Amino acid sequence: MIEFDDVQDLVSPVVIAAFEGWNDAADAASGLVDHLMEQWKAEVIGAIDPEEFYDFQVNRPVISTDHNGHRRLTWPTTRIAVARPAELDRDVILVRGIEPSMKWRQFCAELLAACDDLGAELVVTLGALLADTPHTRPIPVSGTATEPELVDRLDVEQSTYEGPTGIVGVFNDACSQLDIPAVSYWAAVPHYVAQPPCPKATLALLGQLEELLQAPMPLGDLPDDSKAWERGVDELAAEDEDVADYVRALEETRDTADLPEASGEAIAREFERYLKRRDTD
């Protein structure tokens, strides 16, 4: 059971969750939760007891020195934080952790019980996977939802995936079993640049959150970092003719597949997003 510090009542809170590990290619999903925690100055209010869920030979504790020169031991865990963004008409519960080594069902039950205690109305999980996609094009993001009403309203799909899954899939299933509305967004990271970070994928996930919550999200340095990341990959590809040829092949495949998407509807969505940001500024 997760114990909280004193927390004031939250307003229509939405949960945004990401976990390091198998579900988090290039740290794109957990990187977004880190970004939001920093931008929104989120307050950590509780954490899972790591003794129950983590193998410390796989995820080892870390020793560091604080600004006062004191030695500090930090255990791997999953933390819950609360943010009250001025730009939203609701509060946010941020869940940032590591895929557990054991007792996944109990892990999900404890997290969801904590979110329920905080009054959560919607759960959003974030993930990232490696894919055959070029770094020079917009990062694809797929979305699924647990309820037909959400599928229709958000223009996402009900998941049809079959195969091995990670903690994000188990967490979403737990939400479905408890009739908790849940949405999941996954970014496709170019597999030939899998080394973290991938700010372009993090930025793409942020765009989906912006569309879901119908409010501008804090960009911070993500746009500049994304451009710098793309320039860096361009330079690496230019040094290897085989990689450059492979990227061009991916671009041709992607451009052919995306031709129907170059529609008035897609352009209108981007323009609406731009206007929302300008009004906020």
Please report the pLDDT score of residue 203 as a whole number.
Answer: 97
**Residue 254 structure tokens:** 């992607």
Return d(Cα 225, Cα 212) in angstroms, integer: 23
Q: Read off the pTM.
A: 0.89
Please report the pLDDT score of residue 176 as a whole number.
Answer: 92
Q: How many other C-beta atoms can be found within 10 angstroms of the C-beta atom of residue 154?
A: 16
Please report the pLDDT score of residue 275 as a whole number.
Answer: 63
Please report the pLDDT score of residue 148 as a whole number.
Answer: 86
Please report the pLDDT score of residue 67 as a whole number.
Answer: 87
Please report the pLDDT score of residue 267 as a whole number.
Answer: 54
- What angle is formed at CA 182 by the lines to CA 110 and CA 261, rounded to 5 degrees? 145
Please report the pLDDT score of residue 279 as a whole number.
Answer: 60
Return d(Cα 253, Cα 113) in angstroms, integer: 45
In order along the chain (281 residues), what is the average pLDDT of each group of 10 residues?
84 97 96 98 95 95 91 94 95 97 97 95 97 94 90 83 92 94 96 95 96 93 97 93 93 81 55 59 55
Burial annotation 87-108 (CB, 10 A radius, 16+ → b, else e): ebeebbbbbbbbbbbeebeebb
pLDDT in tens, 60-74: 999 999 888 899 999
Contact between residue 76 and residue 56 where contact means Cβ atoms under 8 Å apart: yes
Please report the pLDDT score of residue 4 as a whole number.
Answer: 85
Please report the pLDDT score of residue 114 as a whole number.
Answer: 95
Q: What are phi and psi of 215, to 5 degrees?
A: -155, 150
